[in-house]
Amino acid sequence: MSDVTDETTAHPYDAPASEALMKRAQAVLPGGVSSPVRAFGAVGGTPRFIVSGQGPYVTDADGREYVDLVSSWGALLHGHAHPAVVEAAVAATGRGTTYGASTEAEVDLAEEIVDRTPVDQVRMVSSGTEATMSAIRLARGYTGRDLVVKFAGCYHGHQDALLAAAGSGVVTLGLPDTPGVPRSTVATTVLLPYNDTEAVEQAFAEHGDQIACVITEAAAGNMGVVPPRRGFNRFLRDITRKHGALLVVDEVMTGFRVHRCGWWGLEGAVEDWRADLMCFGKVMGGGFPLASFGGRADVMAQLAPEGPVYQAGTLSGNPVATSAGLAALRLATDDAYRHLDRTAGTVRSLVGDALTAVGVPHLVQAAGNLFGVFFTDPATDAVVDLAGAQRQAMHRFRAFFHAMLSHGVSLPPSAYEGWFVTTAHDDRAINRIATALPYAAEAAARAEPATGDSR
């Protein structure tokens, strides 16, 4: 496998094996994919079909190797096919893939999560969507209220109640963000701008006795990386408690990625506050479909079979996934997080230097070791919410993305996603990123807006 570093020998659309696979896929999968962002709709071109991964690299169907900064959208903390994680999964598989019964592995993993976070108990599920959906149901069951406050740009899975777009005004009862979601379902969702304390105060002033919970990403990573303003999460903790609502913090992305205790370890532990419910996923599964939600013992006691709020899943707590996840978390030591922080810091600096050198306006923004790039002028456009994220120059991102791909670096194919390093990203991987960046920066500088681009 050769590194792709020469513009004359690589083109963003030169992937015949992937093109052939995409044609086959489009005949049997809607859009040719099992998850929309994989279709390259935001960037154009042919999605790469991946055949293998090792450490910080993936190899596509055409035999090209890429430094991977997608890392399965953050799920892989230690890179691809880490020996300890593979060994744990293989050993568990050899004993049986699923039983429909409890296992020691799920107890071990639950104990590890409880030890790392402020939750008293957790319930295992199979996806982040399932975790947030169940947490919302539990919050409503516990409080006896219906309204849920969420923030525009924060993604909590594809459950109906939270697929709502922000409307006009400060406090807006949401409209469906996709066909197939009844208006009546999202009529119980209050949409607010992220990082806006005044909007939250007004929402509680108008609907306080009807609000079951506020749900927020611990640090937003689905409109690009937009960290909470200092004190914002603490404010949410205080106002929900004042009005008898619950605070649900979604750490599906940040949990065990930015700190051994998740974002809470960087913020809540320092400020001495905790959420009523938390949602985890991605890293805790070690690359397998696994997630969980947890919280205060008295709230979790409302779940069946102990309480009246029903939630169940045939594959919940799957022994292969929990074994792999436990192995991944046991590798997530303080030394591992120091490596992640150093690596992320180095890549951020390289990106910023490359774009500055060619005069491309940009903002490199981080939440711990989770980071991303906005192609916007930081002097005029602060990115603190979805509106700020949407003002960026999308044509520059598209050009930047394809130039990086052509030069052997795989980025998330969306300007609204974070970049993810792993403990496997070493000097060789960083050097390949550094080699690709000048080409990508030049491509971004030369890019012209397409029809429909805002700028």
Residues with a catalytic annotation lie at: 155, 250, 282
Give me the helices (H) in 179-231, please.
183-186, 197-207
Task: Give me the amino acid identity at 445.
Answer: A
Cα torsion through 72, 73, 76, 78, rounded to 10 = 110
Rounded CA gap, 163 and 181, in Å? 8
Q: What is the DSSP string of 266-298?
A: HTHHHHT---SEEEE-GGGGTTSS-EEEEE-HH
Q: What is the DSSP string of 414-452?
A: STTS-B---TT--HHHHHHHHHHHHHHHHHHHH--PPTT
Strand ranges inside 106-156, DSSP E: 121-125, 147-152
Strand ranges inside 134-205, DSSP E: 147-152, 164-165, 172-173, 175-176, 189-193
Q: What share of the chain is helix, strand, coil (3-state, %, to 5)?
A: 40, 15, 40
**Distance from the first to the final alpha carbon of the chain:** 39
> 80 by DSSP, 3-state: which?
strand
Task: Give me the amino acid identity at 34.
Answer: S
Please name the helix (run of DSSP H) or strand (run of DSSP E) that holds residue 371, with its range, or none: strand 370-374
Task: Give me the amino acid identity at 199.
Answer: A
Whether 220 and 107 have beta carbons less than 8 Å apart is answered as no
Q: Of 415, 322, 299, nearest to 41 (Cα)?
A: 415
Q: Of 35, 44, 40, 71, nearest to 56 (Cα)?
A: 71
Residue located via tokens 């006691």: 301
Handedness of CA 200, 205, 206, 212 (dihedral sign): positive
